[in-house]
């Protein structure tokens, strides 16, 4: 009897999540292929998901058993709003259209949406029963993708994920935690932040990678699920941890331009549905994540 095929194709393999996830999946026995907008190498294909011909070419060559869609623009302050919809919405649905056209039905197609689709709900814990209220083009483009992808649930084995904040080595420095770590690594004496008395999820990218693996291997399909831990971490606690790791105290200044009015003090995602599908997933203490980022 031959070995079970475990070919996984990651769209957007060269991004922050894709690099960590591909490394992890290779370690646990997956045959990993990927697409990049710019680069090609062994098992990596140059693909622009706004062109169906590019998608068709890679799907016909790889014929994946699993697909994980990470491609997209993930920084909400990206300057060209139309790009969010061209890539995050239309590009994502192009992949589903080509799969149906080729009559390929992978064991699992995981599509990364975002917790930003919830917008400001006025609640401390966000679960999947809430009606999305995206407040920016990034969130709206991801919710548009979700709305369209649901129409393919009867044709393909799809799971849509809504990841909450996560970080780790290699994340771009325009995100909050890498920004903080960079200030300490460069021995800066002060840092400007927004609201200090807030608590948010800051999960480790290794936790997210493990969740994706378990979702691939689960029986779940036709689901929309948070990738969350319901683990809130106070921003001032992050500063205290970094003070200890870097062995000096940084001066924190509040920049009014960074302060959001009526910001919720505690905001986390419910992990109840997620853990109901795949079992509970543990993750390292956040101080360990910070230390890895600082020492990288």
- For the stretch 226-277, pLDDT in tens is 999 999 999 999 999 999 999 999 999 999 988 877 677 888 999 999 999 9
Residue 261 domain-assigned (yes or no) = no
Residue 175 domain-assigned (yes or no) = no
Nearest to 189 by CA among 255, 254, 251: 251
Catalytic one among 24, 138, 152, 166?
Answer: 138
For 182, the 3-state DSSP assignment is helix
Mean pLDDT on 164-168? 97
What's the longest Cα–Cα distance across the chain?
65
Cα(117)–Cα(34) distance, integer angstroms: 26
Residue 254 domain-assigned (yes or no) = no
Mean pLDDT on 162-170? 97
Residue 1's pLDDT band (cuts 50, 70, 90): very low
Q: For residue 226, what are its two tokens?
A: 């948070």
For 248, the 3-state DSSP assignment is coil
Domain count, the chain: 1
Mean pLDDT on 74-100? 85
Least confident of 2-11, 141-150, 153-162: 2-11
Place of tokens 């009015």: 261
Can you give the residue range of the structural domain that contains 82?
7-168+203-228+269-284
Q: What digits encode the pLDDT tens for the residues 267-291? A: 899 999 999 999 999 999 999 999 9
**Among this protein's residues, is 138 annotated catalytic?**
yes
Residue 246 domain-assigned (yes or no) = no
pLDDT of residue 230: 96
Residue 153 domain-assigned (yes or no) = yes
What is the average pLDDT value for the chain, to the nearest integer? 93
Nearest to 59 by CA among 26, 11, 21: 11
Phi, psi of 32 (to 5 degrees): -100, 125
């Amino acid at each position: 009897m031959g070995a079970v095929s475990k070919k996984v194709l990651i769209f957007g393999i060269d991004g922050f999540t894709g690099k960590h996830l591909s490394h992890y999946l290779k370690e646990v026995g997956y045959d990993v292929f990927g697409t990049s907008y710019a680069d090609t190498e062994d098992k990596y294909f140059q693909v622009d998901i706004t062109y169906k011909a590019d998608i068709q070419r890679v799907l016909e060559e790889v014929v994946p058993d699993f697909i994980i869609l990470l491609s997209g623009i993930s920084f909400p302050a990206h300057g060209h709003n139309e790009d969010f919809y061209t890539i995050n919405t239309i590009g994502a649905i192009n992949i589903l259209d080509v799969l149906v056209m080729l009559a390929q039905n992978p064991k699992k197609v995981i599509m990364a949406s975002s917790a930003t689709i919830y917008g400001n709900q006025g609640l401390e814990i966000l679960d999947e029963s809430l009606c999305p209220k995206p407040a920016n083009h990034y969130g709206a483009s991801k919710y548009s993708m979700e709305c369209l992808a649901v129409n393919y649930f009867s044709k393909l084995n799809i799971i849509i994920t809504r990841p909450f904040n996560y970080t780790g080595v290699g994340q771009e420095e325009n995100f909050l935690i890498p920004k903080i770590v960079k200030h300490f690594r460069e021995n800066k004496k002060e840092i400007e932040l927004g609201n200090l008395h807030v608590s948010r999820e800051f999960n480790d990218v290794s936790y997210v990678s493990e969740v994706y693996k378990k979702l691939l291997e689960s029986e779940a399909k036709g689901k929309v699920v948070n990738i969350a831990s319901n683990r809130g971490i106070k921003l001032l606690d992050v500063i205290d941890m970094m003070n200890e790791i870097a062995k000096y105290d940084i001066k924190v200044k509040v920049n009014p331009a960074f302060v959001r009015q009526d910001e919720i003090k505690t905001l986390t995602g419910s992990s109840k549905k997620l853990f109901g599908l795949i079992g509970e997933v543990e993750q390292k203490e956040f101080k360990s994540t910070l230390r890895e980022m600082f020492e990288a």
